Structure 1
Amino acid sequence: MIPIKTAAQAAKTVRQDLSAVPQTVLVQYLSPGALNLSALPPLSLYVHFPWCVRKCPYCDFNSHEHKPDSDEAAYLDALRGDLEAALPLIWGRRVQTVFIGGGTPSLLSAQGMDRLLSDIRTLLPLELDAEITMEANPGTFEVEKFRAYRDSGINRLSIGVQSFNNEFLQKLGRIHHGDEARRAAEFAAKHFDNINLDLMFALPGQTLEQCEQDVQTALSFGTSHLSLYHLTIEPNTYFAKFPPAIPDDDLSADMHQMLRDQLSSAGYINYEVSAYAKPGRMSRHNLNYWQFGDYLGIGAGAHSKLSFPHRIVRQMRHKQPKAYMQAVAEGNAAQESSEVATEDLPFEFMLNALRLRDGFPVALFQERTGLALNTIERELQLAEQKGLLYRDYQTIAPTETGRNYLNNLQEMFLK
């Protein structure tokens, strides 16, 4: 285990920490470049837990089957070491949100989660009202363990229900049943104030009526946030090799419209492509992504996007858990690290910000990219002419047509 540094000790030694970084890396992060950010964006922390009970056939996330030799303590040691080594890159910045994703983080023991959050609080200055989210699988719900998670500081749950219908859960390879999903949602509603339920639609053999039954069941729990995802066949998954028969485009579109109508009638705002929230209950962590904020990612396969006054850098950790832990022990958790090219920044910004129904303030583009808005004036004009974009002196946002053809709108900003 890497020894704890107090804030005072770390402040005194940050220059020594930087002096230990290879000069090529220092140049990459700290040397002046073409950008000139007037302020650094909000900072979030993402923590990846890479294990699941079983890999789902549609899943292309970095997840691995949990085995008896999966060493929780050793992985927590690595997470702490990874975070401590990354401190010079985010020194002095407060963390607004924390998201513990996976994989299935709810496989962590209560003691393991308490240790993880304690390590994070020791090393990072969290905002007092920081949103701390954990993903959970209904098949791993244990009442006392989840109470302990809450007492450790988890204040938002994101529950991967996917469906309440046993037929579709079996087709999706989920380890839980519909009754378990209902019990998990009921328990969460009683013990957590801020809850998201993940649902999938356009499932193999699903009818419009079955899709509506799922969303009505989800709504019955009164949760503050719902995420709705169209089942897509991703490369390098079991479904890519053995594709199931899924609803055609017309039926999928009918399902999507029905879901929008049902959730709108229930008082939810479709503030992002796949996200629906009660007023004031949007996911602060995900909003930071979509507004091109910064995030430090630790854990196997985690991604980071970090801004400096003259640079924006992306990193990716080693994907395999054992390789990741070994890399942390050797002092180099990042497998890939690169600067975002100036010409790519407009597309990267718009790829995220145009997912939001209300778009973004005009000034945010320059604030987050360091580029003048006239950099994309031609593209903005063309998008307006096609009826895909609305803008005035305050706001730039997709129109309803732009939201329906979002890929086309985003691609207009690709150099």
Structure 2
Amino acid sequence: MLKLPPISLYIHIPWCIKKCGYCDFYSYVSTKNIPEMQYIKNLLKDLEKDIKLIHQRKINNIFIGGGTPSLLHNESIKTLIHGIKKRIQISKSSEITIESNPQSTEYKRFRDYKRSGINRFSLGIQTFHSNLLKKIERTYSKQEAIEAIKEIKKINSNFNIDIMYGLPDQSLNNALSDLKYAVKYNPTHISWYQLTIEPNTSFYKKNLCLPDEKIIFKMFNQGEKFLRKSGYIKYEISSYMKSRFKCRHNLNYWNFGDYLGIGCGAHGKITKINGEIIRTIKNKNINDFMNGKYLATKTLIPEKDKPFEYFMNTFRLYQPIYKKNFQERTNLNISNIKNKIKKALRNKYIIENKNSWETTKKGRIFLNSLLKIFLN
């Protein structure tokens, strides 16, 4: 019998006060009252339909993302967490994360969120420089960002800070001082990543003055050295942790685990008992979603695409990729990828051990070239 992978739950809250120019996540801008309870009610109905697909597996971790989930009042979060626990088994050691905006009206809710069951916070700071916050169209001040971190530290030791580099008109000193500010508050996790301009964003249409590649490379090298000296361990392309504090939900993605995705525009991945893997996308139209039309698409991953899908996730990790896991998660034999592995080895993108593969420094730098080997 097939061993099904562990499963997590992703919940999408689609509302934002303002759409940032670089953001390509699915969201609605709303300055009016959000129909929170109506949406929570539909989220739970959406979950009920998906539960039938997962063969009584326990949910290991929950991640509430967006949009801006911290726009929701405590009663909504409390109703949501309680409703999930009534409908499905949650692991006792479950990590329950909420993405949070460091705006004063929102961070005052953190204490109540903690009482509702949230045990990990992820703060989207991006930068501590007021002029750069304006350039990337964030809606809070440097002081609000600092106050939000201080508020979280009072109530919860486990929290992540998101920081970006390669911002418009950002200097090397700006980028490094952002990391110094973040480290000063001793978060258990830092997500530090380069700004990329995606085609379906408003920034794509603008002629932004981004730092040149040499400056960005210096930001990356010097920033990474500083984080290492500050006690942070890099375990994924853009993820740095203190001690054992990996983001469990994201780690499940990168290990090609399963996840239910509920809410407007949410994505899911579910392995069936026969080894087939399906991907789900939920309805992006908020009115349709509120009227019970939850599922937009459900597609089967073709067998020939499974190796690429698997390695697209696992090659992001700075750890061995076990051959046994490849077979269990894809339901394929290693002989299916023998020639592709040989090519990756010849190019010195990976090394092979008896029970595992691991990306080399070259493989991490040229990750796209490595992944192309596994494309059909």
d(CA) in 1 for partners of 2:350 and 2:106?
47
Amino acid at match of 1:323: D
Runs of at least 5 residues in structure 2 that lack an aligned partner in the other structure: none
Which residue does 1:255 correspond to in 2? 219
Residues 354-388 of structure 1: CA deviation (Å, up to 9, x unaligned): 00011311211001000011211111111111111
Q: Select the residue among 54, 59, 62 that pairs with 1:98.
A: 62
Runs of 4+ in 1 over 3 A off after TM superposition: 140-144
- Which amino acid is the alignment partner of residue 96 of structure 1? N
**2:113 alignment partner, SS class:** helix
Give how far 1:228 is off: 1.0
Aligned to 1:89, the other structure's residue is in SS state coil
Give the partner amino acid of 2:177: Q
Structure 2 CA distance for aligned equivalents of residues 293 and 381 of structure 1: 26
Partner of 2:170: 206
How far is 1:300 from its partner?
0.2
> Which of 198, 201, 204 is the equivalent residue of 1:237?
201
The one of 203, 213, 222 aligned to 2:186 = 222
Q: 3-state DSSP class of the match of 1:90?
A: coil
Identical residues among aligned pairs (%): 38
Q: Deviations over 1:68-119 (max 9, x none)?
A: 2531111111101111122211241100000000000000001111001011
* 8 Å CA contact retained: 1:106, 1:140: no
* Aligned CA-pair RMSD: 1.2
What does residue 361 of structure 2 align with? 400
Counterpart in the other structure of 2:330: 369
Distance 2:248 2:114 in 1: 18
- CA separation of 1:144/1:54 partners in 2, compared to 1, >3 Å: closer, same or farther? closer
CA distance in 1 between partners of 2:133 and 2:6 (Å): 37
- Please identify the structure whose Cα radius of gyration is greater: 1
Partner of 2:28: 64
Aligned to 1:320: 285
8 Å CA contact retained: 1:138, 1:181 = yes
TM, length-normalised to structure 1: 0.88
Could you tell me how far apart the structure 1 residues matched to 2:50 and 2:104 are? 31
Q: CA deviation at 1:140?
A: 4.9
AA in 2 matched with 1:128: K
1:36-73 deviation digits (Å, cap 9, x = unpaired): x7200000000000000100011110011024253111
Whether the 8 Å CA contact 1:141–1:184 is kept in 2: the answer is: no
Q: Partner of 2:42 in structure 1?
A: 78
Say whether residues 1:119 and 2:83 are aligned partners: yes
Tell me how many residue pairs correspond in the alignment.
375
In structure 1, distance between residues paired with 2:252 and 2:107: 31
> Which structure 1 segments of 5+ residues have no match?
1-36
Take 2:104 and 2:265, find their aligned partners in 1: how far apart are those partners? 23
Match of 2:128 in 1: 164
2:320 equivalent in structure 1: 359
Q: Over residues 300-333 of structure 1, what are the superposed CA-to-partner deviations in whole Å (9 max), with x where a residue is unaligned?
A: 000010001221100100112222222x2xxx41
Structure 1 CA distance, aligned partners of 2:76 and 2:123? 19
Residue 405 to residue 99, structure 1, CA distance change in 2 (3 Å): same
Provide the C-alpha distance between the structure 1 equivalents of 2:199 and 2:230, rounded to a whole number of angstroms: 35
Which position in structure 2 is the counterpart of 1:412? 373
Letter in 2 for 1:254: K
Shift of residue 142, structure 1, vs aligned partner: 4.4
User: Secondary structure of 1:129's match?
Assistant: strand
Structure 1 counterpart of 2:341, which letter?
L
* CA distance in 2 between partners of 1:134 and 1:296 (Å): 16
Q: Distance in 2 between matches of 1:356 and 1:266?
A: 21
Q: Aligned equivalents of 1:305 and 1:366: distance in 2? A: 17
| Preserved contact between residue 389 and residue 399 of structure 1 (Cα < 8 Å) | yes
Q: Is the 8 A contact 1:107 1:140 kept in 2?
A: no
Inter-CA distance 391–174: structure 2 relative to 1 (3 Å threshold): same
Counterpart contact for 1:353–1:359, Cα < 8 Å: no
Partner deviation per Cα, 1:240-274 (whole Å, 9 max, x = no partner): 11131101111111111111111111111110001
1:155 matched residue in structure 2: 119
